Structure 1
Amino acid sequence: MTRSQEDDRSRSRGVYAISIAAEMVSMQIQNLRVYERRGLVAPDRTSGGSRLYSPDDIDRLHRVRELLAEGLNLAGIAHVIALEERVRHLEGRLRRRDDRDPSEQ
């Protein structure tokens, strides 16, 4: 596993309790629960069912807050986030294609 893959895995591992996550993003705990129900974040769960938010989840919640401030509703935010993820995926595919040996193209 490369260093980049290890970093990606550690960024997606849940480490913050809901109260800490809410404080980090300046949101109310109940809002985080709503965003989870709406599919905007998917925190890990402990064996006891407690939510654990990852650094990636925290970034996502900051983005949700930004989009709310711009006037989007939760349905609109879900669409924007899905499109942003699709763009990142496609950009990654283009980078990998461009990084290949020119003789392979």
Structure 2
Amino acid sequence: MASAAQQAQAPLAIPATGGVCDLSKRSYFHASVLASLAFTFINRPVDCMLFELEVSLTAGTLSWPANVRWVGGLAPQNLQTGKIHIFQFRRPQSTGADQWLGSYLPNY
């Protein structure tokens, strides 16, 4: 049986039909995507500054909340199917704005 620390670090599966990252529950999520999916981030605790999302992409495209800013201003494009993609979202401390800075490691 896994220890409490190991359970706390285990990915929280996201139903492929929902795409909801409930930040009050975990800071690491996994989604198996079988068709196009729009992600949403909900219930952010005040102290939540960073979370990660691992996506196993079988088919479709991914879309993101409007308050995510990506390097170069463009959301990830041309992600390969049959691969795992890892996304990290960080809240900037320098602004009071409700936004996330997104980065990603594609095509594993």
Provide TM-score, normalisation by structure 1: 0.26
Q: Which has the larger radius of gyration?
A: 1
Relative contact order, higher structure (CA 8 A, sep 6+): 1
More strand, by proportion: 2
Provide TM-score, normalisation by structure 2: 0.26
